[in-house]
Amino acid sequence: MTTHTDAPADHVGTRARLRDIYAAAHEQTLHPNALGWPGRPDERELDFISHVVYGRPGMAREGCAYLVKELAQLAEIERHLSAVFGIITAQLGADTSPISDGYDLHHALSCFAAEEYLHADFFYRYVRELADTDIKLADSLFSERLALYQGDDSPYVKLAAMCMAAYIGESVITVFEKRTAHLDPGREHFLTKLLWAHGMDEARHVQVDHVVLECIMPSFSEAEQRRAFEIFSGTEELNAELAGRFKQLIVDVFGVDHTVDNPAWDVQQSLTSVFRQAMTVTWPPSPVDERMDDETRKLLHEFAGTDRVHP
């Protein structure tokens, strides 16, 4: 196994940051059972979905198709992250780096993984209600995606690759959480409540990502940087294949292409490109809010009523 030999200069401060992120997590989370599931959305909820996705009424079916595809795909990606973090935390048992002293890193990653697994659970429940049918992908490439992280690389290399891949999607879904909150500040609609519940946990996940970007990745050797990018790129390629498979599934279920004349899809693609660039242009990668230009901030403000993705 390759080792991570250069610990962050302030490993005590890094562990303290991780400890603080999860200090009140038990008070700032919702179990899926606490969401008050309404069942199949009524006409009022469907109209809201139409406005969230298309910005106008009359597009509920297409809007549901878009949400089902994106959230089912996200559920698969979150489930994968949970499994990868299981590999990483198991490896930490043999790690002697100062950052893994005590419980802070292990605790943060364990909670992160547990929350993501619950997210996969409630997103899969939600898409079944939207579609009014089972949404199952026969082959989600799970084994192939997991295999990327089963080599003898350092747990920190794997953590960096996984966080880089996850951070892009986490940032995009945060923008959609802010859009629903902007359109529905009283959380009268279930979609708003669902994304708000997801966002309470996701805010902690993003903070962990920032710790990885700012405190762990800068100390990588050139070989570790290269491997992190290789695993990240492999993850991105398989996730793109996963997206294509989900798109075909949803076309089969709904009979519509959710990408046609869909302003939310267009915004998603634009932001994803910007957020991915934040992970690839510099070393270490930059938080997404540091990479946005004026045009992207304008798009963000018009779509979600905010000038920042993360606090």
What confidence tens digit (pLDDT) does each residue in 190-211 have? 999 999 999 999 999 999 999 9
Q: Please give the residue range of the domain that contains residue 219.
A: 11-23+35-304
Alpha carbons 99 and 139: distance in angstroms, whole number: 37
Q: Is the confidence at residue 6, as pLDDT, over 70? A: no
Would you give the distance in Å from CA 308 to the centre of its chain?
17
Mean confidence (pLDDT) of the chain: 95
Would 192 be classed as within a structural domain?
Answer: yes
Interacting residues of 257 by C-beta distance below 8 A, sequence separation 6+: 247, 251
Residue pLDDT, tens place only, 24-51 = 999 999 999 999 999 999 999 999 999 9
* 299 inside domain: yes
Residue 291 tokens, joined? 């990479």
Per the domain annotation, does 1 fall within a domain?
A: no
d(CA 227, CA 99): 20
Work out how many domains the chain is built from and give that number.
Answer: 1
Torsion, Cα 178 176 75 203, to 10 degrees, reads -30
pLDDT at 9: 57
Q: What is the pTM of this model?
A: 0.94
Say if residue 2's pLDDT is above 60.
no
Flag whether 2 is in a domain. no
pLDDT for residue 121 is more than 50 = yes
- In this prediction, residue 7 has a pLDDT band, given cuts at 50, 70 and 90, of very low
Instruction: Classify residue 4: in a domain, yes or no.
Output: no
CATH number, domain of 84, equals 1.10.620
Mean pLDDT for the stretch of residues 216-226: 96
Residue-wise pLDDT tens digits, 258-308: 999 999 999 999 999 999 999 999 999 999 999 999 999 999 999 999 999
**CA dist., res. 159 & res. 228, Å (int):** 8
Please report whether residue 254 resides in a domain: yes
Q: What is the pLDDT of residues 145-199, one digit of tens each?
A: 999 999 999 999 999 999 999 999 999 999 999 999 999 999 999 999 999 999 9
Asked if residue 5 is part of any domain, the answer here is: no
Q: Is residue 111 part of a domain?
A: yes
